[in-house]
């Protein structure tokens, strides 16, 4: 059972509180990956850097009134951009782990990267316990080098790399060691048609083909850059697309750049076809996170706006996903949740009316 | 011997990930103006694929570049002066906008302005030519990652000779990216095609430029360039092209495309060459001999005779030193891994490429074999003729021997360095098999894999004695520029007199004016003049007519775009 804390909210004061660094930072510091950072110096620094709020619920706190203020606060409170904090964090970690670490950040202890620094050329970050790699001495980042080279214990029950998970539920599922699991049969589980089958779908009884539906990241978007600016759209197809093999396209009369509709039990997507021999028969993919605001028409099937790559996917949870509070099997945002099993989906796809409505 | 210096580039295609950062930053810097919507000085095409504009390599269709006439003399494929004159008012050998693409934008404002409605609003594409809704059917990079290969793949001009071998089947898929800029050729057919003599090759560094004042918009250069890297600005009616970012090069900075390249695959440096030998080399009878012929034009910057002749030719000492340190010289000559793009066009291109080993490596790896093993790779280069022959069509006029040799060197390096990385004894026989020593392999590895910014870009800055830059930078007020508070403007006797403003020190206001202005006409009213040769016939630039005393003076920024709209 996780620890539950009652929080009282004064909703009229939320905006004022959001625009200032809160008081709990003074007493609790900030914790990430089990390392608590003391922030008293940083809070005082931010008072000087951003100015202090006068009056109201956040009286006396460092201001976060402007976007730049928020950036300064983030940069001041992260070890990767504040050498003092990185060293402090490693010293804390040295006490916990008994291995020497602080020297990794000591070369930059006095260094602080401000917002102005980030507006010039790219600035390398400082090695910090927030991450598992070392960039000390100008080396390039690689994950887990601190664990491997400095013998910092891994965040597991044994402190070692774990391949065997001796949790009762996992053992019961036969997954104590990594095992191959074939894709789920969507036809057996949810009554979807079998892969490779063609059949009538759509308002006019058009022929559709059932294919495996994958949503990989594209080569030029997510995390560091977006594909949906005018230049990048001019260098691609100018809207959302689904890649399909020539064999599947031929089965249902789809040509390159045709409007298609993909439908399964979860939803509908309208996109243009990219027919290529680069795709194997039986599989289509729709690149992750194309912009639904760009040239997405109304779907014939639903009468609604065409949908995005995730319109056809849904998370599926099995018992092992629900394990928590057990050493490395603890839930944290973005760190342990259901695995990407929703990326293993099937859909029926067909050529739709080329007269699209918006 | 007539020694000249040429700024050149080499791109290592194994490192190109097709991210298009070079294209985007180039366009943002140089062609984000009206009239140049479809213009990509830098583009990255997926090969096999048609490139941009589509099918530009089909010289039977476009008649670009040079050919040998019946007497074995070099002649423009598009015809000489007489033929140019006869067809000057109707030049049929031009790519139309459909060979490029119809540029578009989106009605982005709908996303924020749309009233409450049943469906979430979307931004629809609008043609930048007609302003109307557009059904996007082609783009600047339609066949990215082999997209649409079933409908369009066979139109790749390079497949003409090997069409029966390249099958568009999943199991035989191979591809790579080819980033392209202007080749800044030693023997530029664009310049030779221009009836107005507006295109010139700079004497000091060989950069090919269009004189915007002399260009009359005949578009013969667009036809004449076999790489289709000259574009017609339909707003100004003048030709524009990649400038090798000369304002940056002059101050020792790499081009925008190289500076921003994520894969760090571009190298920039000087090549010394013998200008007297260019014509002879370009006239080599056998297409297969052109690669070696062009290499024969280059001069060894370490040769004392060459150094002496270069100094006699007025090439500054530090340029000669830079030519000795040039990564281009090393890649083309010392390591012999760089090849020219389409030597058979006989323009003596100066942007060279290290052909990619990755199509071979990928196949070896995908079949479950060790793709770092030298023997495996050598055998694969022997066996996998399709990618090799395709590369030869691009880089050596179809001769596979030089491509084989380069790929074997790259394979040997990969395998040799793997042994060292694994802490094993290096296999000297691998180096010997490709005619190198282990030390040479390590030097090549250092240049290809380790070399930092200052070794990838060895660019000596322009010289005071060659340009007016020092005078402008050091002896005048730094704010005394057009548009600056010093209001230097042109010289006392009108445009063309006095000292031009160096673009390298272009101030923010000028940059903004240039990028947001609808015309290339200088709109600064303080100058009170209009260069009619530059006037695009649209609007009424201030200074065209004397100021009217009846009305209050018009705001310069409010000039109309439609002729005769206000008078």
Q: Residue B174: is its pLDDT beyond 50? A: yes
**Mutating which of B27, B36, B123 best tests the A interface, going by the most A Cβ atoms within 10 A?**
B123
Q: Which residues of chain B make contact with A239, given a CB cutoff of 8 A? A: 125, 136
Q: Do B149 and A237 touch (CB under 8 A)?
A: no
Which member of B105, B136, B149 has the closest CB to residue A277? B149
Q: At B91, is the pLDDT very low, low, confident or very high (cuts 50, 70, 90)?
A: confident
pLDDT number for residue B510: 60
Q: Do A236 and B141 touch (CB under 8 A)?
A: yes
Task: Tokens for B500, please give them.
Answer: 């031009």
**Mutating which of B43, B48, B52, B148 best tests the A interface, going by the most A Cβ atoms within 10 A?**
B148
Q: Do A249 and B150 touch (CB under 8 A)?
A: yes
Respond yes or no on whether the N-terminal peptide bond of residue B383 is cis (omega within 30° of 0). no
Q: Do B140 and A234 touch (CB under 8 A)?
A: yes
Tens of pLDDT, residues B505-549: 455 556 566 556 655 444 444 445 566 666 666 777 666 776 666
Residues of A with CB under 8 A from a CB of B: 219-220, 225, 230-239, 241, 243, 245-246, 249, 255-257, 274-281, 292-298, 304-305, 358
Judged by DSSP in three states, B75 sits in: strand
Alpha helices in A207-310 (DSSP H): 230-234, 246-251
Which member of B20, B120, B124 has the closest CB to residue A235? B20
Q: Which residues of chain B make contact with A304, given a CB cutoff of 8 A? A: 119
Cα–Cα distances (Å) from B370 to A186, B173, B260, B379, B469, in that order, read 37, 19, 33, 12, 55
Radius of gyration of chain A (CA): 26
pLDDT number for residue A140: 87
Whether the Cβ atoms of residue A238 and residue A244 lie closer than 8 Å to each other: no
Task: Tokens for B239, please give them.
Answer: 């030709």
pLDDT number for residue B4: 96
In angstroms, the CA A238 to CA A230 distance is: 8
Pick the residue from chain B with its C-alpha nearest to A354.
B135
Q: Do A276 and B146 touch (CB under 8 A)?
A: yes
In angstroms, the CA B36 to CA B195 distance is: 23
Q: Do B170 and A280 touch (CB under 8 A)?
A: yes
Chain B: closest CA distance from residue A90 (Å)? 31
In angstroms, the CA A137 to CA B15 distance is: 26
Q: Residue B496: is its pLDDT beyond 60? A: no
pLDDT number for residue A55: 94
Pick the residue from chain B with its C-alpha nearest to A275.
B148
Q: Residue B449: is its pLDDT beyond 60? A: yes
Q: Output the average pLDDT for chain B.
A: 86
Q: Do B136 and A237 touch (CB under 8 A)?
A: yes
**Mutating which of A121, A124, A238, A259 best tests the B interface, going by the most B Cβ atoms within 10 A?**
A238
Interface of B with A in 130-189 (CB under 8 A): 136-137, 139-142, 144-153, 168-170, 173, 175
Chain B: closest CA distance from residue A273 (Å)? 9
pLDDT number for residue B86: 76
pLDDT number for residue B93: 86
Pairing of strands B351-354, B3-12: parallel
Q: Is B120 on the interface with A (CB under 8 A)?
A: yes
Q: Output the average pLDDT for chain A.
A: 91
Hunting for tokens 């000259």 — which residue is that? B230
Task: Tokens for B382, please give them.
Answer: 């022997």
Pick the residue from chain B with its C-alpha nearest to A280.
B170
Q: How many CB atoms lie within 10 A of CB A321?
A: 16
Q: Do A235 and B23 touch (CB under 8 A)?
A: yes
Pairing of strands A30-32, B74-76: unpaired
Chain A: closest CA distance from residue B196 (Å)? 33
Chain B: closest CA distance from residue A81 (Å)? 23
Respond yes or no on whether the N-terminal peptide bond of residue B172 is cis (omega within 30° of 0). no
Which member of A278, A296, A305 has the closest CB to residue B173? A278
First-to-final CA distance of chain A: 49
In angstroms, the CA B8 to CA A349 distance is: 49
pLDDT number for residue B240: 96
Percentage of chain B beyond pLDDT 90 is 69
In angstroms, the CA A173 to CA B129 distance is: 62
In angstroms, the CA A261 to CA A209 distance is: 11
CB contact burial A198-232 (16+ within 10 A = b; e otherwise): eeebbeeebebbbbbbbbeebebbeeeeebbebbb
Counting beta carbons within 10 angstroms of the beta carbon of residue A256, is it exposed (0 to 12), middle (13 to 18) or buried (19 or more)?
buried
* Mean pLDDT to the nearest integer, A198-206: 86
Q: What's the predicted TM-score (pTM) here?
A: 0.84
In angstroms, the CA B22 to CA B24 distance is: 6
Which member of A275, A277, A293 has the closest CB to residue B123? A293
Percentage of chain A beyond pLDDT 90 is 72
DSSP code of residue B67: E
Task: Tokens for B395, please give them.
Answer: 């880089």
Task: Give the number of residues written for chain B.
Answer: 567
Beta strands in B342-389 (DSSP E): 351-354
In angstroms, the CA B104 to CA A237 distance is: 11
Counting beta carbons within 10 angstroms of the beta carbon of residue B423, is it exposed (0 to 12), middle (13 to 18) or buried (19 or more)?
exposed
Task: Tokens for B135, please give them.
Answer: 């059904």
In angstroms, the CA B90 to CA B88 distance is: 6
Whether the Cβ atoms of residue B110 and residue B124 lie closer than 8 Å to each other: yes
pLDDT number for residue B525: 44
Chain B: closest CA distance from residue A75 (Å)? 25
* Mean pLDDT to the nearest integer, B208-220: 93
Chain A: closest CA distance from residue B537 (Å)? 29
Of the candidate ranges A48-62, A80-94, B458-472, the one whose mean pLDDT is the lowest: B458-472
Q: Residue B336: is its pLDDT beyond 50? A: yes
Q: Which residues of chain A make contact with B121, given a CB cutoff of 8 A? A: 293
Cα–Cα distances (Å) from B230 to B191, B199, B535, in that order, read 11, 11, 21
Beta strands in B314-440 (DSSP E): 339-340, 351-354
pLDDT number for residue B559: 43
Q: Do B17 and A249 touch (CB under 8 A)?
A: no
Pick the residue from chain A with its C-alpha nearest to B26.
A231
Chain B: closest CA distance from residue A227 (Å)? 10
Q: Which residues of chain B make contact with A235, given a CB cutoff of 8 A? A: 20, 23-24, 44, 139-141, 144
Q: At A332, is the pLDDT very low, low, confident or very high (cuts 50, 70, 90)?
A: low
Q: Which residues of chain B make contact with A236, given a CB cutoff of 8 A? A: 139, 141, 144
pLDDT number for residue A219: 82
Interface of B with A in 7-26 (CB under 8 A): 17-20, 23-24
First-to-final CA distance of chain B: 61
Task: Tokens for A274, please give them.
Answer: 């990219």
**Mutating which of B43, B149, B153, B257 best tests the A interface, going by the most A Cβ atoms within 10 A?**
B149
Q: Which residues of chain B make contact with A278, given a CB cutoff of 8 A? A: 145-146, 149, 170, 173, 175
Q: Do B170 and A278 touch (CB under 8 A)?
A: yes
In angstroms, the CA B260 to CA A257 distance is: 32
Chain A: closest CA distance from residue B170 (Å)? 5
Q: Which residues of chain B make contact with A234, given a CB cutoff of 8 A? A: 101, 103-104, 139-141
Q: Residue B2: is its pLDDT beyond 80? A: yes
Whether the Cβ atoms of residue A300 and residue A260 lie closer than 8 Å to each other: no
Percentage of chain B beyond pLDDT 70 is 82
Q: Which residues of chain B make contact with A223, given a CB cutoff of 8 A? A: none
By C-alpha distance, which of B292, B293, B283, B294 is closest to B186?
B294
């Amino acid at each position: 059972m996780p620890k539950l804390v009652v929080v009282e909210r004064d909703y009229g004061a939320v905006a004022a509180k959001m625009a200032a660094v809160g008081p709990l930072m003074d007493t609790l510091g900030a914790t990430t990956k089990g390392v608590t950072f003391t922030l008293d110096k940083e809070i005082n620094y931010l008072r000087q850097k951003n100015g202090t709020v006068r009056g109201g619920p956040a009286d006396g706190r460092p201001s976060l009134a402007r976007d730049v203020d928020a950036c300064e606060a983030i940069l001041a409170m992260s070890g990767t951009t504040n050498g003092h904090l990185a060293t402090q964090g490693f010293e804390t970690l040295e006490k916990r782990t008994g291995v020497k670490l602080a020297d990794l950040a000591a070369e930059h202890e006095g260094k602080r990267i401000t917002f102005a620094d980030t507006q010039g050329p790219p600035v390398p970050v400082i090695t910090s316990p927030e991450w598992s790699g070392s960039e000390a001495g100008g080396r390039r980042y690689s994950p887990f080098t601190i664990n491997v080279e400095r013998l910092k214990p891994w965040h597991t029950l044994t402190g070692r790399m774990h391949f065997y998970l001796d949790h009762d539920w996992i053992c019961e599922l036969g997954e104590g060691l990594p095992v191959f699991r074939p894709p789920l049969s969507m036809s057996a589980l949810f009554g979807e048609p079998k892969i490779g089958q063609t059949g009538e779908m759509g308002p006019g009884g058009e022929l559709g083909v059932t294919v495996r539906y994958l949503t990989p990241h594209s080569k030029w978007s997510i995390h560091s850059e977006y594909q949906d600016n005018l230049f990048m759209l001019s260098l691609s197809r100018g809207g959302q697309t689904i890649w399909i093999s020539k064999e599947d396209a031929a089965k249902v009369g789809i040509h390159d750049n045709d409007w298609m509709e993909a439908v399964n039990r979860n939803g509908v997507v309208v996109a243009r076809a990219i027919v290529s021999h680069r795709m194997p028969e039986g599989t289509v993919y729709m690149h992750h996170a194309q912009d639904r605001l760009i040239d997405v028409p109304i779907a014939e099937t639903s009468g609604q706006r065409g949908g995005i790559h995730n319109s056809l996917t849904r998370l599926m949870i099995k018992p092992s996903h629900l394990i928590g509070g057990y050493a490395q099997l603890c839930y944290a945002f973005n760190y342990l949740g259901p695995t990407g099993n929703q990326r293993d989906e099937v859909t029926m796809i067909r050529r739709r009316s080329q007269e699209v409505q918006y | 011997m007539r020694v000249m210096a040429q700024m050149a580039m080499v791109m290592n295609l194994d490192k190109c990930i097709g991210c298009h950062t070079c294209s985007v930053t180039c366009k943002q810097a140089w062609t984000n103006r009206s009239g140049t919507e479809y213009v990509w000085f830098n583009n990255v095409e997926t090969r096999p694929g048609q490139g941009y504009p589509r099918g530009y390599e089909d010289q039977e269709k476009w008649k670009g570049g040079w050919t040998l006439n019946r007497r074995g003399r070099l002649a423009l494929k598009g015809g000489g002066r007489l033929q140019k004159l006869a067809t000057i008012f109707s030049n049929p050998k031009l790519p139309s906008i459909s060979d490029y693409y119809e540029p578009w934008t989106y009605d982005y404002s709908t996303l924020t302005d749309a009233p409450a409605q049943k469906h979430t609003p979307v931004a629809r594409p609008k043609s930048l030519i007609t302003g109307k809704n557009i059904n996007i059917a082609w783009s600047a990079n339609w066949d990215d990652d082999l997209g649409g290969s079933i409908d369009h793949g066979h139109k790749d001009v390079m497949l003409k000779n090997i069409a029966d071998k390249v099958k568009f089947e999943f199991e035989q898929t191979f591809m790579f990216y080819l980033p392209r800029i202007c080749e800044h050729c030693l023997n530029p057919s664009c310049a030779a095609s221009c009836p107005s003599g507006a295109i010139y090759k700079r004497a000091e560094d060989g950069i090919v430029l269009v004189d915007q004042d002399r260009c009359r918009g005949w578009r013969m250069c667009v036809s004449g360039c076999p790489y289709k890297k000259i574009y017609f600005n339909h707003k100004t009616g003048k030709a524009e092209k990649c400038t090798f970012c000369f304002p940056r090069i002059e101050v020792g900075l790499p081009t925008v495309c190289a500076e921003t390249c994520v894969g760090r695959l571009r190298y920039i440096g000087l090549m010394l060459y013998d200008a007297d030998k260019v014509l002879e080399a370009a006239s080599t009878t056998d297409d297969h001999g052109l690669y070696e012929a062009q290499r024969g034009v280059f001069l060894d910057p370490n040769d004392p005779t060459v150094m002496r002749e270069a100094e006699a030719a007025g090439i500054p000492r530090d340029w000669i030193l830079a030519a000795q340190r040039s990564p281009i010289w090393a890649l083309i000559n010392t390591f012999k891994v760089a090849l020219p793009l389409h030597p058979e066009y006989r323009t003596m291109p100066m942007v060279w490429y290290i052909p990619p080993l990755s199509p071979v490596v990928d196949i070896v790896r995908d079949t479950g074999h060790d793709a770092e093993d030298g023997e495996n790779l050598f055998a694969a280069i022997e066996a996998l003729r399709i990618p090799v022959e395709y590369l030869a069509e691009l880089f050596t006029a179809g001769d596979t021997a030089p491509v084989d040799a380069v790929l074997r060197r790259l394979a040997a390096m990969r395998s040799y360095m793997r042994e060292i990385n694994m802490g094993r004894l290096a296999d000297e026989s691998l180096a010997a098999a490709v005619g190198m020593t282990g030390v040479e392999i390590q030097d090549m590895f250092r240049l290809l894999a380790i070399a930092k910014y200052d070794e990838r870009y060895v660019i000596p800055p322009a010289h005071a004695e060659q340009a007016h830059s020092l005078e402008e930078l050091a002896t005048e007020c730094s704010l005394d520029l057009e548009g600056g508070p010093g209001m230097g403007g042109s010289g006392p006797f009108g445009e063309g007199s006095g000292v031009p403003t160096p673009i390298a020190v272009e101030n923010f206001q000028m940059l903004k004016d240039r990028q947001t202005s609808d015309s290339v006409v200088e709109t600064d009213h303080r100058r009170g003049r209009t260069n009619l040769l530059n006037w695009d016939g649209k609007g009424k630039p201030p200074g065209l007519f004397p100021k009217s005393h009846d009305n209050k003076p018009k705001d310069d920024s409010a000039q109309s775009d439609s002729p005769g709209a206000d008078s």
